Amino acid sequence: MNILYSFIDESRHKYLMDRYLNTFPEDFKKDILKYRRWQDAQLSLLGRVLLQHGLNTHYGISEAEIGRLPNNKPYLKGHSIYFNISHSKNLVICAIADFPVGIDIEFSDDTINYLDFQFQMTAGEFEKIHHSEDKIKSFFTYWTKKEAVLKAEGSGILIPLDSFEILNNECIIDGKKFFTKEIFIDKKYSCCIASNKLDVQNKSICFELFQN
C-alpha cells in the first residue's frame, strides 16, 4: 500500500500547470481551468499527479485511464489496483493499494465548534469526543474515519454519518465490516484510511512526499 502526499505552493503553481496539465485528458484539463482560485486548481491537479506518479513508480503503470462507476466513484480501468484521493487546506494525499480503499484528510481547524456536528455522530462517538482531553483532535479523528469508510464503501452521502458507529477501528454498514487506520502526515492535519479488507490495518505503508 502506497500513500503519496504533497503540500501546495503558490510559487510553484505556474510550473506545475505548465509541466503537468497537458499530460491529462481534455475533460480533466477543462475541469482544472474552471477553478478561480489557484489553491483549488493545484489541489485537484496534484491529486491526479500523485496518482500518476504512484502508479508509474510503484506498479509499473505508465498510462492510466480513469473511469466512473454508477455511484460516480472513480476507478482504474484495466487494472486490479485501487486508489482514493483527498485534500484539505494546503495538503493533498493519494492512497494506492491492491484492495479497495478510502482515505480522508482534514485540516484540524481549532475554530470549529464540534458541538455543531453532534448530529453527525452516534451517541457513543460523541460521548468519547466530548470527554476527551483534546476535543478538536478527537472530533477530527472520528470525522476522517467516518469519511474514509464512506469513500471505501462507495455510496458516499447516501449513507448518513450517524447511521454507523466506529468502535476499535471497525464498523459495519449493511452487514459488511470495514476497518480503519489512523495515519500521521502532519500535526496540523488528521488522516485516516479505510477498507473492507483487514489488510488496511496489517499491511505496511510506503509514505512518499512528492516534490517536483
Q: Concatenate the DSSP letters of all residues of 77-107 into one string.
A: TTSS-EEEEEEETTEEEEEEESS--EEEEEE
What predicted TM-score, i.e. pTM, was given to this entire model? 0.94
The mean predicted confidence, pLDDT, of the chain is 93
Structural domain boundaries in the chain: 2-209
Residue 211 has pLDDT above 90, yes or no: no
What mean pLDDT do residues 115-126 have? 94
pLDDT 10s digits, 20-72:
999 999 999 999 999 999 999 999 999 999 999 999 999 999 888 888 887 77
pLDDT 10s digits, 161-199:
999 999 999 999 999 999 999 999 999 999 999 999 999
What per-residue confidence (pLDDT) applies to 72? 78
The CA distances from residue 174 to 34, 70, 161, in Å, are: 38, 19, 13
Q: List, in order, residues 6 or more apart from 30 with CB less than 8 Å away.
A: none
What per-residue confidence (pLDDT) applies to 204? 84
What per-residue confidence (pLDDT) applies to 192? 97
Q: How far apart are CA 54 and CA 61, in angstroms?
A: 9
Q: Output DSSP code: residue 72.
A: -
Q: Which CATH number applies to 2-209: 3.90.470.20, 1.10.1270.20, 2.40.30.40, 3.40.50.300?
A: 3.90.470.20
How many other CB atoms are found less than 10 A from the CB of residue 51?
22
Q: How far apart are CA 36 and CA 126, in angstroms?
A: 37
Specify whether the CB–CB gap between 141 and 192 falls below 8 A: yes
What per-residue confidence (pLDDT) applies to 156? 64
What per-residue confidence (pLDDT) applies to 33? 96
E strand spans, 45-169 = 66-68, 74-76, 82-88, 91-97, 102-107
Q: Give 157's pLDDT tier (boundaries 50, 70, 90).
A: low
